[in-house]
Structure 1
Amino acid sequence: MLAELFAAAAEVCRDRSPLTHRLLDDAADDLRRGGVTARVMAGSERDREGTVPGLRFAGAVHRLVLEGRAQGLARHYPTVGGRPDLPTLWRDALPVLEDHVDLVRQQVQATVVQTNEPGRSAPLYGGLLVAAQEAAKAAGRTVPFCVRLLEVGASGGLNLRPHRVGYRLEDTVLGDRDSPLVLDPEWTGRPPADLTHRLRVVGRAGCDLHPVDVSTEDGRLHLSSFVWADQLPRWDRLRAALDLAATDPVEVERSAGPEWLAGQLARAERDVLTVVWHSVVWQYVSPADRAMGRAVLADAAMRATPTTPLALLVFEPRRADDGYRFELLLKLWPAGISLNLGHGAGHGTPFTWSVTPWE
């Protein structure tokens, strides 16, 4: 079973990260033979699919490279200046795994996959502009609402700064043009909003069962290890997002989503749009917490007023004819607006704006 989960994770990476694909494909074969990977993964044999043990393994190996503990393997990893040679990758990985069986096993068992991908700020930013302006129209206002952003499953909180990021569109930059993080959102189409309006964020908070403190070296290494090492644009985005976080700290509280959200939503701020947000986290949430979260949100939605509106804005994978598609979904209360704003890659870019009802 574990070998099949590794093989499935490898297939996901096939066209996007040849290095990770090859590492996990060879590791799957090694698992079937009862090789060193079986010893590394001892104790994780019954891990469920949603915990993606293959990606946890790949992240643990990448972390060894980043920490300088895998010199023979480092030559394959572009994040430390290497260049992949796929036919010899597994040959060079084997002695590293043999030398660090206990360390890699400990890392695999102690960690959860957390990419906290900064590229997702691009569709979030557009979605927030739409939400603030649509809520204002529904309330008969001419000026968009200020936004209070609440993120469930915030990890290191890197996407709690959408107003502090720059978004390059042709010959202009939206958002903060002086930000250390300037994204090319790779938009097809545009958000159904007036892009000349500035997004005003007046409050931010986040929670996570396993929050990452990005002010520490351990926290930065944790997030860095889950970047596929041959995707240097993602690596560069993360480094810039970490630099931004250092200048604008936001605490992420250790808490389960429903309880934390209930506390946050117990108070409403007049003339502020409260936006509940999460991205690529739903698959990790238990059925019980999903149900509780929906109930908390439904209760808050009933209390929403034109001067204290509420929004749900999520970027999550949904089933489609060809598998899964990452969609940006928006609900607004009490306006009764429910929109599918478009779809994009799992890391947020590229993104296609295509507005339809959220059904």
Structure 2
Amino acid sequence: MLAEQFAAAAHRCREHSPLTHRLLRDAADDLVRGGVTAAIMAGSEHDRDATVPGLRFAGAVHRLVLEGRAPALARHYPTAGGTPDLPALWQDALPALHRHADLLRQRVRATAVQTNEPGRNAPLYGGLLVAAQEAAKAAGRAVPFGVRLLEVGASGGLNLRPHRVGYRLGGTVLGDPDSPLVLDPEWTGRPPADLGRRLRVTGRAGCDLDPVDVSTEDGRLHLSSFVWADQVRRWDRLRAALALAATDPVPVERSPGPAWLARQLAHAEHDVLTVVWHSVVWQYVSPADRARGRAVLADAAAKATPQTPLALLVFEPRRAGGRDAGHRFELLLRLWPAGLSLRLGHGAGHGTPFTWEVSPWE
């Protein structure tokens, strides 16, 4: 079972990270042989697919490299200044795996995959502009609402600063051009909103079952370890997002999503659009908590007024066609009491590139 999960994870990252693909493919073969990988994964043999044990293993190995514990392996990792030599990767990994097997097993068992990908700020920013302007239109206002952003599954909170990020479109930078984090959103098309209006965020909060404190070295290493080490652009984005977080801290509360959301939505804010946001989280949520979350949101939606509007904005993988079709990541918006439900577009799982393509969300 574990070998199959590792092989599946290797296949999924084959086109995007040859380094991670090779590491997980060789680790899958090692599992079949009963090698050191089996000792490292002891206790995780029956983990659900949704917990992606292969990526937890790859993250734990990457963290060894980032901590300077595996110098021979570091020569393959661009995040440590190396250049991958894929045929030699596994042989150079083996001494570190044997030496640190107990530590790796501990980290694999204790760790949840949390990339907290800052590239997702780009579709979020466009979606928030649409939501704020559409809510104002429905309320008969000329000026867009300010936004109160509530993120479920916020991890380290790196996507709770969309107004503090810059978004380069040709010769123009939307958002904050002076931000440490300036993204190339790689948009095809544009969001159906006036991009000349700046996003106004009046409040932010987030929750997570296992929040990451990005003000600590441990928290920064935790998030960094899950970036595929040969994806240098993603690595640079994360470093910039962490620098931004250091100047603008937003605490993330340790809490189950439904209970936290019920507390946050208990009191509506007048003349503010409250936006519930989550990205690439739904697959990790239990069916029971999904039902509870929907009930909490439905209760708040029934109480929304034109002066206290509510929105749901999500970026999650959805099946692209029939049962045998693959998945694609879609940006979806619901707005109450306006009754607006839109599929705003679709893009890569890390947020860029993104295609704006508006249609009804049924």
TM over 0.5: yes
TM-score range, shorter chain: over 0.9
Residue in structure 1 matched with residue 254 of structure 2 by the alignment? 254
Residue in structure 2 matched with residue 357 of structure 1 by the alignment? 360
2:329 corresponds to 1:326: yes
CA distance in 2, matches of 1:105, 1:71: 20
Shift of 1:232: 0.2
Equivalent runs, 1:250-329 vs 2, <5 Å: 250-321=250-321, 322-329=325-332
Equivalent runs, 1:74-89 vs 2, <5 Å: 74-89=74-89
Residue in structure 1 matched with residue 351 of structure 2 by the alignment? 348
Equivalent runs, 1:15-30 vs 2, <5 Å: 15-30=15-30
CA distance in 1, matches of 2:299, 2:122: 29
Residue in structure 1 matched with residue 341 of structure 2 by the alignment? 338
Task: Note the alpha carbon deviations across 1:197-218, whole angstroms, 9 max, x for none.
Answer: 0100000000000000000000
CA distance in 2, matches of 1:46, 1:83: 35
Shift of 1:146: 0.2
CA distance in 2, matches of 1:171, 1:233: 21
Residue in structure 2 matched with residue 160 of structure 1 by the alignment? 160
Shift of 1:246: 0.2
2:5 corresponds to 1:2: no
CA distance in 2, matches of 1:338, 1:243: 35
SS in 1 for 2:173: strand
SS in 1 for 2:194: coil
Shift of 1:302: 0.2
2:94 corresponds to 1:94: yes
CA distance in 2, matches of 1:320, 1:202: 35
TM-score normalized by the length of structure 1: 1.00
CA distance in 2, matches of 1:73, 1:320: 39
CA distance in 1, matches of 2:361, 2:315: 13
SS in 2 for 1:45: coil
TM-score normalized by the length of structure 2: 0.99
Task: Note the alpha carbon deviations across 1:301-350, whole angstroms, 9 max, x for none.
Answer: 00000000000000000011341100000000000000000000000000
Equivalent runs, 1:164-179 vs 2, <5 Å: 164-179=164-179
Shift of 1:275: 0.1
CA distance in 2, matches of 1:72, 1:257: 42
SS in 2 for 1:235: helix
SS in 1 for 2:207: strand
CA RMSD of aligned residues (A): 0.4
SS in 1 for 2:276: strand
CA distance in 2, matches of 1:323, 1:245: 35
CA distance in 2, matches of 1:41, 1:320: 33
Unaligned ranges ≥5, structure 1: none
Unaligned ranges ≥5, structure 2: none
Q: Name the amino acid aligned to 1:239.
A: R
CA distance in 2, matches of 1:222, 1:357: 38
CA distance in 2, matches of 1:25, 1:80: 22
Residue in structure 2 matched with residue 186 of structure 1 by the alignment? 186
CA distance in 2, matches of 1:32, 1:323: 28
Shift of 1:291: 0.1
SS in 2 for 1:343: strand
Equivalent runs, 1:138-153 vs 2, <5 Å: 138-153=138-153
Residue in structure 1 matched with residue 105 of structure 2 by the alignment? 105
CA distance in 2, matches of 1:262, 1:42: 38
Question: How many residues were matched structurally?
Answer: 359
The list of structure 1 runs, each at least 4 consecutive aligned residues, that deviate by more than 2 angstroms after superposition, is: none
SS in 1 for 2:32: helix
CA distance in 1, matches of 2:320, 2:85: 35
CA distance in 1, matches of 2:2, 2:17: 21
